[in-house]
Structure 1
């Protein structure tokens, strides 16, 4: 069964958008020496602070979605989050006790909540990550332009004679 998807046009504001550490690293004090660090677990969800600025119509749609479709965040749903690679769909749940909605002085309603989701970085392999770092270390800020040009070459230029 697929997850419900956040309604169209509902995107978090950039100013109040933040995320926390995924955890999994331990630190142990060592008498007379530097502390020791170790990986207790890999992966793990992160919490993202989300703020939506909604008009009256969107707020009524959101309220129906929140209460009836995702059951106040207990049901996992898909929403666009930027976990480091641009906005992508993430499967999320709303953290209990984090939801609030407030009317501003005008017609806008500010809805804030914290969602828990796994970062999309875990969809890449260690070799993919090393390759990404190598490209960046070689080409720096121009690495995006290089990769876009390679994609154009592979997907458009080489198909010029394709009938």
Structure 2
């Protein structure tokens, strides 16, 4: 599968995405609406902006036109769907692409990709364990894990 060229990273300022969908809502006369799961997995739309110099833009155009066939072919791109930046399999949504030159030499390329959230890589039990760990540590779990890593990898080696 093709991968976004090296060093091409979506900007953080214009980075956003929607929900994965898959839930139905039905109005009920005289009562609360009813909700149901229509499907388990779903694609999310990620708004992506790349700021490229003249050479990078040339490489991007070649990649876009010839390698991924204007987004019709799936390619890998680093995105953050909630678990840090990881490679996601993406397709560019038709009609969402635009490119414009700034006052200088930079090109701003924007488009919308569809990708599946990396949360689907977890089982329900792993997701529950993550929530339980967060609740047990009061949101300070990163500090605890970092301290355990320091103890295991540095502090215990003092006597060696």
Task: With the length of structure 2 as denominator, give the TM-score of the two structures.
Answer: 0.92
Match of 2:16 in 1: 18
Note if 1:37 corresponds to 2:39: no
Aligned to 1:59: 57
Report matched runs for 1:139-154 at 5 Å. 139-151=137-149
Match of 1:132 in 2: 130
Alignment correspondent of 1:87: 85
Aligned to 1:50: 48
Secondary structure at the counterpart of residue 82 of structure 2: coil
Identify unmatched segments of 5+ residues in structure 2: none
Distance 1:80 1:150 in 2: 29
The TM-score normalised by the length of structure 1 is 0.90
CA distance in 1, matches of 2:139, 2:41: 28
Residue in structure 2 matched with residue 4 of structure 1 by the alignment? 2
Moved over 2 A (4+): 147-154
- Tell me how large the CA RMSD over aligned residues is: 1.7
Give the deviation of 1:153 after TM superposition: 5.6
- Rounded Cα–Cα distance in structure 2 between residues aligned with 1:56 and 1:64: 13
The unaligned stretches of length 5 or more in structure 1 are none
- Secondary structure at 1:137 match in 2: helix
Report the secondary structure of 2:138's partner residue. helix
Report what 2:71 is aligned to: 73
Task: Give the total of aligned pairs.
Answer: 157
